[in-house]
């Protein structure tokens, strides 16, 4: 079995959903919980989160609005929206505004959640590796340009 640490943040204004989520997934992932968008932002500021799951319907801020609000500061985590309601406009907004990876409905299936978190983490990992390789390539290009300039000047 491949051992890796995946940090998952679950945001939901219903405490029993948070408790159930942590009980179901605490052995598989590092679980962080938040009862509001503001608490979710605080967790993101303190911890490196790989995957965020958020309820859509919460007081003050929807899940989509939360995802949209964190894109500039925390663009790396992969976002999954969970809702008990089927709303086509919410799905469209989730994809277009919040850059949501998956849209799930409640009640959720534990096996489906595990699969989606694992796949989301794989996307996170690949994006991170891609960014690292791009930076190494840019650095190598700068060094090569410097060497070319030096050889042209001599």
- pLDDT value at position 98? 56
- What DSSP character marks residue 109? P
Q: Which CATH superfamily is domain 7-129 in?
A: Response regulator (3.40.50.2300)
Q: Looking at beta carbons, which pairs linking 75-78 to residues 24 or more positions away fall under 8 Å?
A: 76/50, 76/124, 76/127, 76/128, 77/9, 77/44, 77/49, 77/50, 77/51, 77/52, 77/124, 78/50, 78/51, 78/52, 78/120, 78/121, 78/123, 78/124
Residue (of 6, 41, 26) closest to 121 by Cα position:
6
Specify the pLDDT at position 95.
Answer: 66
Question: pTM of this prediction?
Answer: 0.81
Calculate the alpha carbon distances from 144 to 6, 38, 138, 140, 141 in Å: 37, 46, 10, 6, 5
Per-residue pLDDT tens listing for the chain (154 residues): 344 689 999 999 999 999 999 999 999 999 999 999 999 999 999 999 999 999 988 889 989 899 999 999 999 999 999 887 766 666 666 665 557 888 788 888 899 999 999 999 999 999 899 989 999 998 888 988 888 888 877 7
Strand-pair partners of 7: 30
């Amino acid at each position: 079995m491949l051992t890796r640490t995946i940090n998952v943040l679950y945001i939901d204004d219903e405490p029993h959903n948070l408790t159930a989520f942590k009980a179901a997934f605490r052995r598989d992932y590092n679980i962080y919980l938040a009862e509001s968008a503001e608490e979710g932002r605080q967790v993101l500021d303190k911890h490196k989160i790989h995957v965020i799951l958020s309820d859509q319907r919460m007081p003050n801020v929807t899940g989509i609005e939360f995802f949209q609000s964190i894109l500039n500061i925390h663009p790396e985590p992969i976002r999954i929206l969970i809702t008990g309601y089927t709303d086509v406009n919410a799905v469209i907004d989730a994809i277009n505004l919040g850059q949501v990876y998956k849209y799930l409905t409640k009640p959720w299936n534990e096996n489906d959640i595990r699969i989606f978190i694992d796949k989301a983490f794989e996307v996170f990992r690949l994006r991170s590796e891609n960014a690292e390789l791009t930076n190494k390539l840019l650095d190598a290009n700068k060094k090569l340009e410097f060497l070319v300039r030096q050889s042209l000047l001599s």
